[in-house]
């Protein structure tokens, strides 16, 4: 199980390395076109650098001849073989800044071409990192401006307008909150179903107290309940009504019963 996991990690690392080599080869070609390397005496520099980053080619000679065409030049098969042999002799300049020095790539050219795998001869690695952070910060700041956000220098914590008015921060916030209270707008009511209706004043008043009225809930009010109870009482015999009211029952009614 461990061996399988290790083989997967190795395969992923190798794939990333191959992707990096392919990207650097493209950047070498871009720089060669940009500076017109094919028309100079140092054209072999870019071709040799390209060979350094093309180790898995099955036909190195043919690949290098095609690369020369992509760079805007042309070399023979013999010249390609000679350059491949030359590329295997000197120390390879594979790091970003060493390759930049080998090709003479400046920071301005790097930015113009959008290169990322090759350094520059006039701006070091740390300086490029700081410049990249600054560009990212400015880009985020422009994005915030486009969204309507104010810069930190214009924030309330920095300007502190309540000091100019001679009041406390809490008082200033309360005053501005009251001033903005009437700026809100009301939207039309939206009913979720056809049975929905606007709230009546009676229900609204009851809801504000925390509960709805008995009538709104479908329950009889206390007055209605009393009336209903009296109606039911009138249907009872006299002696039962007297007992229900807690009154004494006359003897004649008891004898009659």
pLDDT digits (tens, 9 = 90+) for 203-251: 544 444 444 555 555 555 555 555 555 555 566 666 666 666 666 666 6
Assess whether 228 and 118 both reside in one domain.
Answer: no
Question: What is the per-residue pLDDT across 79-135, written as a single tens digit (0 to 9) for each?
Answer: 999 999 999 887 888 899 999 999 999 999 999 999 999 999 999 989 988 988 988
- CA triple 203-208-212, angle to 5 deg: 40
Assess whether 116 and 12 both reside in one domain.
Answer: yes
Q: Are 223 and 209 in contact (CB under 8 A)?
A: no
Q: Which two tokens stand for residue 135?
A: 């560009």
Residue with tokens 């001849």: 65
Q: Which of 96, 126, 156 is the last residue of a domain?
A: 126
Cβ-Cβ contacts under 8 Å for 73 (sequence gap 6 or more): 37, 38, 39, 43
Asked whether residue 54 is domain-assigned, the answer is yes
How confident is residue 69, by pLDDT bands cut at 50, 70 and 90?
very high
Asked whether residue 136 is domain-assigned, the answer is no
How confident is residue 182, by pLDDT bands cut at 50, 70 and 90?
very low
Segment 41-60 mean pLDDT: 93
Phi/psi of residue 62, nearest 5 degrees: -60, -40
- Say how many domains are in the chain: 2
More confident residue, 78 or 192: 78
How confident is residue 198, by pLDDT bands cut at 50, 70 and 90?
very low
Q: How many CB atoms lie within 10 A of CB 35?
A: 17
* pLDDT value, residue 99: 95
Closest Cα partner for 92 from 124, 56, 125, 50? 50
Pick the most confident of 6-20, 46-60, 227-241.
46-60
Assess whether 122 and 230 both reside in one domain.
Answer: no
* pLDDT value, residue 162: 76
Question: Which whole-number Å values give the CA distances from 253 to 117, 207, 257, in the listed order?
Answer: 116, 52, 6
Rounded to the nearest integer, the mean pLDDT of the chain is 76
Asked whether residue 64 is domain-assigned, the answer is yes
Asked whether residue 117 is domain-assigned, the answer is yes
* pLDDT value, residue 60: 93
* pLDDT value, residue 191: 40
Asked whether residue 204 is domain-assigned, the answer is no
Question: What is the per-residue pLDDT across 40-49, written as a single tens digit (0 to 9) for each?
Answer: 999 999 999 9
Asked whether residue 155 is domain-assigned, the answer is no
Q: Which of 93, 126, 159 is the last residue of a domain?
A: 126
* pLDDT value, residue 46: 96
Asked whether residue 132 is domain-assigned, the answer is no
Q: Are 23 and 117 in contact (CB under 8 A)?
A: yes
- The residue segments making up the domain with residue 246 are 222-256
* pLDDT value, residue 187: 38
How confident is residue 78, by pLDDT bands cut at 50, 70 and 90?
very high
Asked whether residue 208 is domain-assigned, the answer is no
């Amino acid at each position: 199980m461990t061996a399988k996991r290790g083989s997967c990690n190795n395969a992923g690392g190798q794939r990333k390395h191959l992707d990096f080599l392919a990207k650097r080869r493209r950047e070498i070609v871009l720089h060669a076109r940009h500076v017109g390397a094919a028309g100079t005496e140092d054209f072999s520099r870019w071709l040799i650098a390209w060979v350094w980053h093309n180790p898995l080619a099955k036909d190195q000679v043919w690949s290098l001849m095609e690369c020369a065409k992509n760079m805007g030049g042309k070399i023979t098969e013999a010249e390609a073989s000679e350059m491949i042999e030359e590329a295997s002799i000197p120390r390879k300049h594979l790091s970003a800044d060493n390759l930049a020095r080998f090709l003479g790539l400046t920071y301005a050219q790097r930015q113009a071409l959008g290169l990322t795998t090759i350094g520059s001869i006039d701006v070091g690695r740390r300086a490029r990192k700081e410049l990249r952070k600054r560009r990212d910060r400015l880009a985020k700041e422009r994005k915030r401006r486009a969204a309507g956000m104010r810069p930190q220098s214009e924030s309330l914590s920095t300007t502190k307008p309540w000091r100019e008015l001679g009041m406390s921060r809490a008082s200033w916030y309360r005053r501005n909150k009251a001033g903005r209270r009437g700026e809100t707008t009301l939207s039309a009511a939206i009913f979720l179903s056809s049975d929905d209706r606007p709230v009546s004043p009676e229900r609204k008043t009851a809801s504000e107290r925390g509960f709805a009225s008995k009538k709104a809930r479908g329950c009889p009010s206390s007055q209605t309940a009393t009336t209903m109870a009296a109606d039911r009482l009138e249907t009872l015999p006299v002696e039962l009504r007297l007992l229900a009211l807690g009154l004494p029952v006359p003897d004649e009614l008891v004898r009659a019963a």
